[in-house]
Structure 1
Amino acid sequence: MGSLFLSDEELVKKDDDHKPTKGSAIRGPFGLARVPPRKLLKRIAIVLAAGALIYLFIHNIPTDVPIRDRRRPNYVGDHVDAPAKPMPKLKPKPLQPPNWNKPLKPPKKGNAPPKGPGGGLAPASKPYDGPIRFEKLADSLQAISGTRGDYVDNKNVLFAASSLKSAALLLPVACKMGAELRSYVHFAVMSKSEIPVDQLREVNGVDDSCQLIFHDARPDRAGTSSEDRFLKAVMRGFYHINSYMHPQVVIVDASDSESGLFLEAARVQLRSMKIPIIELPENSPSKLTWLTKLDSASLAAWHKVNIEILIQAAPGTSGNLVRLLKSLVAADFSASATPHLTIELPNNVDAATAAYLETFQWPPAKAYNPTHVKQLTLRHRIPRNSLTEEESSARFLESFWPADPRHSHVLVLSPQVELSPSFFHCKLPPLSSHHHTDQDSTDIKYSVLEYMHSNAAITQQWDSRLLAISLDLPSTHLDATKSFAPPSNKDASSDAISSPFLWQAPNSNAVLYTGQKWVELHAFVSHLLEFQQTAEKNQTPLPSVFTNKLVSKRYPSWLEHALKLSRARGYWTLYPSQLTAGNLAVVHNEMYRAPEEYEKEIKRGGLADSAEIVLAGGSLLENLPFGGTLPGFDQMPLLLWDGRATKLRDLDAHAVEYAGEFRKAVGGCEGLTPSELLPRQSARDLFCEREG
């Protein structure tokens, strides 16, 4: 065949080399060697045969092989060069999770279903377990580049559902959240059902006003997939979604309506990728609709927030304490860990209280507690004389310490308090409600997530000023003599409405103290007690800034120290509106008992407002202004510690003045540099102590 690709001239040269005799070559008209006719016919035959072979090959090329779109997630067996990511082990594991590296069983005849004798589909002998292809996922994921999904920190929130019943429960919640325009809200369909996404939207009343971004994360042949293939598809679907979206949180329905296989796969995969997952329990859409008001940053902190409850019981408060504990048992802690409860018992515990505590169970039997861990701590003081102010303050502040001050907080409750069942999780109006009245939401978890972890709170550093969040509204000032009238605000129509407000005066009845401020208060009292002991040892009289008592002895002694810290730092406490307060907590002053350190000075009996008080009852916050959105701190009235209305710049000026008086009374601050006088969590700057 090599001679077929040689020219005539080369053939002549080749023949001359081998046959140099004269006349051995036939010359043509131009002196070139001529190929004998026999060889020419042979070459023509070979060329024709080769052309025929090429034609037959081209004519029979297969045309039913699709072109592979490499933008689309496509999985075949483990014979591919790039191995799949291994699935983490589940502990505990009620079912055996699949191994991503385990070879998949290929179908016998490609991806086509088997044919029956009549040419139709044959009955399925077993579920399909072939390669996984996401045929519609790539298009929607590549279209969300505007949501900054390629960054780890963004504003993406993902709802995911496998069951159509769960999708029907979650879609109204997702729609409401998307309409708030605080986050990019996505909805991933990961079911075995082959219902088109457009039909799913139509059936559930989802239109463009919902601002939802849908993702069809179902594999090919989802309806006939085996359980093992379905598990793999869910986990790989989350893996690819995370690569394009990096959701800050994933929200799923954890009720019986959702597939257990889907929930198991979601927990395993999301935990391995360190993505928070919020599992909404039974009937949660009607109880936790306030989460639609939160943004992505707040929702990402859902499981980080840890709240503990601290009760300091005074002697002879059996009836009060039992009533408080019963209201705690009736409270709703849906979708959250039940708070740890610490009860500080006095020296002499009455028989009725002791009998009730013997059978008291915490967490309550109705609470979801799969590990059966007890969350109750009882502390019984050793018998001794009545506590002094200093001892009582120290003992109280030693009862709690936040392991993570940024996320750990303490809810302080007086035995005289009775709580609403929805104090921890408020119930917002139905998702279809648009009624507006003059109420606000100040329940514990909603407020903590919004005012300490939202994007607005982080940007404006709201937590730097927030000392505490109160559940009740005091009827008097801190001196317990002058009545207190809460301020009002004005809405768009200029009508005065009941409003939450910021007050420099702290509270001790039903109030949550933030972990960061608790640490600072702990340090402040520590330095203060040390300074007083040194003054007593040296027989030096204490300055008036320490001895002047502005808080009534009807309140515990530590509240005076909290007020001093608030005045020196310019801190405030968030109080609910008058209408909301009655739906969160009430204080039963008709059975008032003085703190143990002041028991001998304060007569027993009720206070001026000692009439029997009951909770408002009914649904909390049925109708909220602006659909229940919490107002920003800059939208609330601001009060000085004595109840006077003020502005932020004036509050700061008062704080600078009071801190200067405090430092002057301590002495030695003149030698400190400006940087050493900056506020710090250790409170050293107020006591003029040099670091080191």
Structure 2
Amino acid sequence: MLGKTLLPGDEELGKKDDDHRFLPVRRSAWSGWNHTFRWRRRRNVLLAIAALLLWFLYRSTGATLSVGELGGASEYADLDFRPRKPHTPSTVAFEKPAHDKDEPNGAPPGMVKPQAGEAVPHTYDGKVRFFRLAPSLRSASLQTAGEDEKNRNILFAMSSLQSAARLIPMLCEMSMGKDVHVHAALMGREDMGLEDLLELNGVNEEHCTAIWHDARADYSEYSSDRRAEGVVTGAMGHINTFLHPQAVITDDSQSEDAFFVRGMRSKTSLLKMPLIEVPKDRLADLMWLTRLDARSLKHWHTPKLDILIQVPPASSSVLRLLKSLEDADYSGLTPPRIILELPANLDASVKRRLEKFEWPPHKDADSPSAPRGLIIRRRITKLYSTQEDAAIRFLELFYPHNDDSHVLLLSPQAQLSSQYLHYVKYTLLKYQYSTYEQGGSTDTTLMGISLHLPTTLLDGQSPLTRPGLGDMHTERYMRRFPNVKKVPFLWQAPESHATLFFGEKWAAWYDFLGNRVLKHQSDAKAKARKKEVSETMPSWAEYMLEFMRARGYAILYPATTSQALVTVHNELYHAPDEYTPHPKEDSTEPPSDVQEPFLKGDTQPPAPSYQEPPSLAPSTPLLDALPFSGELPEILDLPYLLHTGQHLVHDQVYKTAEDYANVFRAEVGGCPKLKEGKKPNVFLGKSADLFCFGDEEEEDWEQSEDELGELKEELDGLMAEEAGLHSTSATVSSSTSTRMPDVGKATGPAVADVY
């Protein structure tokens, strides 16, 4: 409808002048256009005001996080947190925040704030917003490289105040180390201020450098279980976006709030983030994890462990071993699978015990149909075994399905302490999965970890001089721990009583033994070699010693302590089958023309005598039983012993191994003398370089470093003569050298990338 300002005034139409608005005497011809312009100008002003309001709204919400924001928890954005039924109208006025960034106080809309002494109703299902989380996350992300998926961040998450009090000693202890950035996030319904919580538990920056995050949402104390669980998952989404924690540590599931446990387990599983739950009343037993770095904790669930036990004939000593396995502490850990090889003539007491042996112990009542972790294998006949046959049969009992599959070999004479698995897990994570060990070349020298400390050398007679503090390859420990007498050490010697073997090294040894046996059986002129290992140890130990010497591998042995991780008993000793004399009337005795790979003694050696120190008491925390206050030294800092007990510096390990490999290659491998300027290629996990079967090809050999250096000098000289300009010569030399193999190319096993 047209406005009156656009209608002309005409006296003939009978309209009075006072029906129209007052107009100036001289009206502009563009009055209609002016009206339109004024309307557009008002519209633009309104749009500008609206844009300004939106900008202020955006700025004000910058300090808050909501579910589904920033992509951290988008899978929860469509959850309906609205009340399922209307609440009774509140008689208390809702305290609306003055600004959108200010957290609201009091009860949620539509709810009554409970009186003193009344329980807070957990019925609120409104929208989730985090008013206190954003500032600390943004600051911590910049300080700890949280935007990188690989970093040093470890998160402690807690819901109840009791769980917070239990975890604070562990997280503060870990925060004082240099290998991790510790973050602590408080979630749940508790309304206590974060500052009050820290003050109540005596937390200060001097003794606890953890970064704290208040991950509670608005109206957290009123949240329903459904909303509270959504708060946990939403907060973890934001924390992952800003911090990318390598692992999450929480209190026991029976001690924490149920909604917190559900939310944390589901979210960490979705994010593929390791979740470590500290068992109730077992905090002191797991304090050793505070000594691990972020990469080790990231691989908390990665290693898979099997226990391998060979039971000799007529030996009931294995009953004591089985009892110690049952009584061990597995809190917070996964019991390993057991592989048990039984003899043909099984002891009756062992048979009865195995019929009632349940493994794993303390099976979860919620899953009684879970598969048993016990594998039993029994030999069919009692046949005489040669050294070669016995070694093959032993090695075939286990094969790793990947590099994270490891085996713990146990002797039937062994009795384990209750914390044996804690030590195995601690050392395994430290020396196989830590940042430092993966970043250097020293990780390739370690073949396994022994729980038993021998008293003699491999000949079973000469005493072993155990290294002391002065033998460490650094003075750092002498300054920090002057009272320590004996230290852990690396020894190039196999151990058959209680040793953890790494999966990748076991597979490489498997390959070595296959080639070793094939070469021995195919060479009619092969001569038996002198034994270096006592016949009180099984024959596979001799093959392992050859393999370790050719590769420079060693086993980590523990320091001498008053309490042992494992006790090896002397009674009921049974010599290995391959070294046990058989009666003449025994028809299973092999023909006399059997060619043994190693010379056997004329007489059987006496039974070994082991020291039997008391086992580590269950009440003694693992860190208190180890030297250096439980700190595990780096590989390069440890003493290194040859199989003879002679000390060796780490820089000479590979050179010594290469010298032995050259001798072994000629005497056992059947290889001709190396061609001038040639040497075999060494591939990780393979042993083909140590044996020659006549089918070797050119790519199996590489040029030596000396020949490469001489060839490079000749090429550089020729290019310098032919090049007319120095710049041209430099360019040609550079381009040529990029096609040359690295002069310093290592012939040892490949090294993992630094992380």
TM-score w.r.t. the length of structure 2 is: 0.75
Q: Is the 8 A contact 1:590 1:605 kept in 2?
A: no
Q: Is the 8 A contact 2:484 2:627 kept in 1?
A: no
Instruction: Report how far residue 672 of structure 1 moved.
Output: 11
Q: Is the 8 A contact 1:162 1:258 kept in 2?
A: yes
Question: Secondary structure of the residue that 1:549 maps to in structure 2?
Answer: coil
1:368, 1:170 → 2: CA distance? 27
Q: Is the 8 A contact 2:309 2:341 kept in 1?
A: yes
1:550 aligns with 2:532: yes
1:268, 1:210 → 2: CA distance? 30
Candidates 566, 570, 583, aligned match of 2:564: 583
Candidates 70, 74, 92, aligned match of 1:85: 74
Q: Which residue of 2 aligns with 1:315?
A: 313
Change in 2 beyond 3 A, CA 1:379/1:547 = same
1:114 aligns with 2:90: yes
2:637, 2:152 → 1: CA distance? 24
1:607 aligns with 2:607: yes
Change in 2 beyond 3 A, CA 1:205/1:688 = farther
Change in 2 beyond 3 A, CA 1:418/1:514 = same
Q: Is the 8 A contact 1:467 1:573 kept in 2?
A: yes
Deviations, residues 123-152 of structure 1 (Å, cap 9, x unaligned): 368721111110010000110112111010
Q: Is the 8 A contact 2:72 2:238 kept in 1?
A: no
Q: Which residue of 2 aligns with 1:96?
A: none
Change in 2 beyond 3 A, CA 1:288/1:591 = same
1:115, 1:672 → 2: CA distance? 98
Change in 2 beyond 3 A, CA 1:554/1:497 = same
Candidates 191, 210, 213, aligned match of 2:211: 213
1:540 aligns with 2:516: no
Instruction: Report how far residue 71 of structure 1 moved.
Output: 2.9
Deviations, residues 579-633 of structure 1 (Å, cap 9, x unaligned): 16x4200111233110111122898997352676643546255365543211112
Instruction: Report how far residue 70 of structure 1 moved.
Output: 4.0
* Count of aligned residue pairs for this structure pair: 618
1:419-458 equivalences in 2 (<5 Å): 419-425=416-422, 443-458=423-438
Q: Which residue of 2 aligns with 1:128?
A: 124
- Amino acid aligned to 1:35: P
Candidates 468, 483, 499, aligned match of 2:463: 483
Q: Which residue of 2 aligns with 1:158?
A: 155
Question: Secondary structure of the residue that 2:324 maps to in structure 1?
Answer: helix
Q: Is the 8 A contact 2:309 2:410 kept in 1?
A: yes
1:60-71 equivalences in 2 (<5 Å): 67-68=57-58, 69-71=60-62
- Amino acid aligned to 1:86: E
Question: Secondary structure of the residue that 1:473 maps to in structure 2?
Answer: coil
Q: Which residue of 2 aligns with 1:103?
A: 80
Instruction: Report how far residue 274 of structure 1 moved.
Output: 1.1
Candidates 350, 354, 359, aligned match of 1:357: 354
Q: Which residue of 1 aligns with 2:340?
A: 343
Q: Which residue of 2 aligns with 1:28?
A: none
Question: Secondary structure of the residue that 2:82 maps to in structure 1?
Answer: coil
More divergent stretch after superposition (225-234 vs 682-691): 682-691
2:649, 2:361 → 1: CA distance? 44
1:84, 1:496 → 2: CA distance? 51
Instruction: Report how far residue 73 of structure 1 moved.
Output: 4.8
TM-score w.r.t. the length of structure 1 is: 0.81
Q: Which residue of 1 aligns with 2:588?
A: none
Q: Is the 8 A contact 1:303 1:336 kept in 2?
A: no
Q: Which residue of 1 aligns with 2:445?
A: 465
1:573, 1:118 → 2: CA distance? 69
Instruction: Report how far residue 108 of structure 1 moved.
Output: 11
Instruction: Report how far residue 5 of structure 1 moved.
Output: 11
Q: Is the 8 A contact 1:504 1:639 kept in 2?
A: yes
Q: Is the 8 A contact 1:589 1:606 kept in 2?
A: no
1:35 aligns with 2:24: yes
Instruction: Report how far residue 396 of structure 1 moved.
Output: 0.8
1:81, 1:343 → 2: CA distance? 53
1:481, 1:626 → 2: CA distance? 31
Instruction: Report how far residue 369 of structure 1 moved.
Output: 8.3
Change in 2 beyond 3 A, CA 1:368/1:657 = farther
Q: Is the 8 A contact 2:154 2:247 kept in 1?
A: yes
1:154, 1:314 → 2: CA distance? 49
Question: Secondary structure of the residue that 1:622 maps to in structure 2?
Answer: helix
Q: Is the 8 A contact 1:472 1:576 kept in 2?
A: yes
Q: Is the 8 A contact 2:81 2:126 kept in 1?
A: yes
Instruction: Report how far residue 171 of structure 1 moved.
Output: 1.2
Q: Is the 8 A contact 1:363 1:369 kept in 2?
A: no
1:389, 1:464 → 2: CA distance? 28
1:659 aligns with 2:641: no
Deviations, residues 484-519 of structure 1 (Å, cap 9, x unaligned): 221111322766611101111111111001101100
Q: Is the 8 A contact 2:445 2:552 kept in 1?
A: yes
Q: Which residue of 2 aligns with 1:90?
A: none
RMSD over aligned CA atoms reads 3.9
Instruction: Report how far residue 273 of structure 1 moved.
Output: 1.0
Instruction: Report how far residue 156 of structure 1 moved.
Output: 0.3
Question: Secondary structure of the residue that 1:418 maps to in structure 2?
Answer: strand
